[in-house]
Amino acid sequence: MRQLFYTMLFLPLMTWGQTFNISGKIAFRQSNEPITNGIIALQGTKFQSQVQPNGNFTLTAIPQGKYVLIAFAENAKTYFQEIELNKDLFLNIVLESFENEIEAITVQAEKERLLGLTRLQNVENFGIYESKKNEVIEIGNLTANFATNNARQIFSRITGLNIWESDQAGLQLGIGGRGLNPNRTSNFNVRQNGYDISADALGYPESYYTPPVEALERIEIVRGAASLQYGTQFGGMLNFKFKRGSEKKIELTSRQSVGSWGFWSAFNSAGGTIGKLNYYAYYLYKTGKGYRPNSAFNYHNFYTSLEYAFSKKFSATWQFTKMQYLAQQPGGLTDKNFEENPRQSLRERNWFCVDWNLLALLFTYKLNDNSQINIRNFGLLAQRLALGNLERANVADFGKERTLIAGKFQNFGSEIRFLHHYKVSNQKHTILLGARIYQGNSTAQQGFGTNSSDANFTFLNPDDVEDSNYRFPNTNYSFFAENIFQINDKWSITPGIRYENIQTFAEGYYKRYVKDGAGNIIVQDKISENLARKRGFVFAGVGVSYKMKPQAEIYANFSQNYRAINFTDLRINNPNLRIDANIQDEKGFTADVGLRGKSYDFFNYEITLFYLSYKGKIGQVLRTDSVLFNDYRFRTNVSDARNIGVEAFGEISLLPLVGKENSAWKWAIFGNFAFIDARYVHTQESSIRNRKVEMVPPITLRVGNTLQYKNFSTTLQYAYTAEHFSDATNTRRTASAIEGIIPAYSVVDLSFSYTWRFLRAEFSVNNLLNEKYFTRRAEGYPGPGIIPADGRGFYGTLQVKW
């Protein structure tokens, strides 16, 4: 708690400048009657005001500069106006009534987004979220280190997450929720703008590409109940929603960031609207030397989106994403190495390279006032290359041929969604129907690379690699339906059902070697395989919601889950990891009961109880080699498991409590707490019976406060993660460090931002108290062994926007 005490000692800097007021009157165009229930706001700022009963409004103490003024009101279309504020303004605003129910829902969703509220609407963007646990991170409302994609800061308000920290620049995201493994976020269905971005959604659902926070508008998270709409992942759905182009013809943004250990990032974007075309594009380059030796990286990312409105009913969007990076990997450490010096590196010949190409074509068509169709077509052409010494950290690197693992991913998917609103007995109901087809074709090769130290991703024997060579085709067809039945103004029931047909194949060979005590090969076998697994199944769920008052809701839901085995569960050669040949798919369910809402417009809260059940959970147990007596991880259906927990979040604005809600000052504090008890049950294996599930911190706590004065903002936050295990047998320490305890750790971060006209300056200190800690033990890349987290780092950003 020492760090938590220190956080109370920091006071933010203050900046003073000339300010102006905006006042005026707002009315309906058709009737010229004053609007009495509207809201006026400046986009991307905290300045907003409730319209008075006579239609008048006032915004006070606003710094000089250019803004986009937004006006909201019930039964009215959203109003936008660009203004340049260098004196007091008086405005007469007129709003037009919307024409149909669908438009009303769209406007309400836009209001929530622009005013920075933190949950999805019951119906939004062709998804149903009634009675589901969901959270939204509004990027524009954060003061954090965007340049490094710092997940600890970005996801600080999301409950129950275990976050892995493996690189300085946030090249890869590793988060797991409710006790699920964080490895490359593989237990979430990961999307951008509504479509898949992982390597292979069924066979290899790992995300080597993470969208940069600087290009995002928001991040949406829906927990396990999302399985009915988004597929079979136990963790739920994670969606990165990119920015759209400005309402102006062109808007340019340039962000230049520098930081510790040679870090440099250059983010440049352009966006705008020309007639019926909205466009947005960016290019991002990052480079750095890294916290440890042998950690240098070079990263390139390009994205473009073209959205054309052919008519009021029909629009089409084309999007392309390109990401490529090369990173040297310093390898893992033993416990003794880490205690002596967490910054040391025992490997200098390990490299990792990723090339990601993602294309999407999206269509939306409004059939009538109550019905719409959305089609999402997407394809991926990508590869990842891992090169280096896979031996454990307590074995020296003698410069022999390195192991090269090459994976290529080619997949295509298409989803169609039909959303319809209808009335029965004067109550509004909503139905969502969907279908998906997905075809993946991945390859994996493993063999000898060169014995040099450079990033030479070439097999010594490409026609007959030494370890394995496989092709993993798979096909998935699915259909789903969900319906919101609005019983009355307070009660709703949302049942859903999904059918999945999954076909996975493995075609190729692997080689098996028998060695003598000196490590010489005495027997070599080449074993060909042609495996096929085909299954079709139906799973279902139901949610119930009771709205006690407009800003408070009790909800509950139950959803079945299913997770297909990955192709890495079928075959991979790793001296530290072995796979059970009879490994099976995982089944189970997720159940939630929660209370959420707002109180007096200054307190935002949610508390959730959850139960996650696994049948035949895939995990890793510690085994000992019978020949050389080395420890290794054995991956199999280790046991049934159950995760029980409580998640709680609260955020309170302090100044309204003392009657200062119209002050230029804003001060909010938040707290995010989760307790999880995850254990293996119903097993005959005594080594894991009633043991704790690996990668599950029993307690996570994140607290922070944000203080804002006009255009200056600062956030100070504290994160605590309790001690937890890295394998199912709950081993506390091994010589190789592949298994062992992950000790409890606490991290403090501090961030500042200041905006003046077209300039914005940001400054962050990551790991303010220079905590020495680690979040994971790896059995392969980027280890094996302990992967230390970064020490104290300083970062600064200058943004120009015009």
- In this prediction, residue 2 carries a pLDDT of 43
Query: Does 744 score more than 90 pLDDT?
Result: yes
Q: Which of 19, 38, 13 is nearest to 28 (CA)?
A: 38
Query: Does 692 score more than 90 pLDDT?
Result: yes
- In this prediction, residue 288 carries a pLDDT of 96
- In this prediction, residue 5 carries a pLDDT of 34
Confidence band (pLDDT; 50, 70, 90) for 666?
A: confident
Q: Which of 740, 743, 746 is nearest to 784 (CA)?
A: 740
The reply to whether CATH 2.40.170.20 applies to domain 240-801 is yes
- The CA angle 58-24-757, to the nearest 5 degrees, is 65
- In this prediction, residue 7 carries a pLDDT of 37
Phi and psi torsions of 2, nearest 5°: -55, -45
Confidence band (pLDDT; 50, 70, 90) for 568?
A: low
Query: Does 152 score more than 70 pLDDT?
Result: yes
Confidence band (pLDDT; 50, 70, 90) for 44?
A: low
Evaluated on CA atoms 161, 165, 166, 172, the torsion sign reads positive
- In this prediction, residue 524 carries a pLDDT of 79
Query: Does 579 score more than 80 pLDDT?
Result: no
Query: Does 17 score more than 60 pLDDT?
Result: no
- In this prediction, residue 15 carries a pLDDT of 31
Query: Does 486 score more than 60 pLDDT?
Result: yes
- Structure tokens of 290? 């890294």
- In this prediction, residue 38 carries a pLDDT of 77
- Structure tokens of 643? 């995760």
Homologous superfamily of 1-97 in CATH?
Answer: Carboxypeptidase-like, regulatory domain (2.60.40.1120)
Rounded mean pLDDT, 550-571:
81
What is the spatial distance between Cα 269 and Cα 282, in angstroms, rounded to a whole number?
A: 4
What is the spatial distance between Cα 72 and Cα 50, in angstroms, rounded to a whole number?
A: 10
- In this prediction, residue 8 carries a pLDDT of 33
What is the spatial distance between Cα 794 and Cα 790, in angstroms, rounded to a whole number?
A: 11
Query: Does 116 score more than 80 pLDDT?
Result: no
- Do β-strands 297-309 and 314-329 pair in parallel, antiparallel, or remain unpaired? antiparallel
- In this prediction, residue 65 carries a pLDDT of 77
Q: What is the DSSP letter of 163?
A: E
Query: Does 599 score more than 60 pLDDT?
Result: yes
Q: Which residues pair with 259 in a beta bridge?
A: 263, 795
What is the spatial distance between Cα 52 and Cα 77, in angstroms, rounded to a whole number?
A: 19
Confidence band (pLDDT; 50, 70, 90) for 632?
A: low
Return the SS3 of 213.
helix
- In this prediction, residue 589 carries a pLDDT of 94
Neighbours of 640 (CB within 10 A): 17
Query: Does 16 score more than 50 pLDDT?
Result: no
Q: Which of 80, 395, 72 is nearest to 247 (CA)?
A: 80
- In this prediction, residue 386 carries a pLDDT of 95
What is the spatial distance between Cα 648 and Cα 433, in angstroms, rounded to a whole number?
A: 32
Buried b (16+ CB within 10 A) or exposed e, 399-420: eeebbbbbbbbbbebbbbbbbb
Quickly list DSSP for 443-505: EEEEEE--SSSS-----SSTTS-SSEEEEEEEEEEEEEEEEEEE-SSSEEEEEEEEEEEEEEE
- The CA angle 33-247-135, to the nearest 5 degrees, is 85
Least confident range of 23-32, 113-122, 337-346, 745-754: 113-122
- In this prediction, residue 351 carries a pLDDT of 96
Rounded mean pLDDT, 240-244:
95
* Interval 616-628: pLDDT, tens: 888 767 777 665 5
- Percent of the chain whose predicted confidence (pLDDT) is above 90: 59
- In this prediction, residue 18 carries a pLDDT of 63
Residue 105: which region, alpha, beta or left (left: phi > 0; alpha: psi -120 to 50)?
A: alpha
Least confident range of 34-48, 110-124, 718-732: 110-124
Q: Which of 663, 567, 557 is nearest to 611 (CA)?
A: 557
User: What average pLDDT does the structure give for the chain?
Assistant: 87
Rounded mean pLDDT, 273-302:
96
- Higher per-residue confidence, 584 vs 444: 444
Q: Where are the domains of the chain?
A: 1-97, 240-801
Query: Does 729 score more than 50 pLDDT?
Result: yes
**End-to-end Cα spacing for the chain:** 44
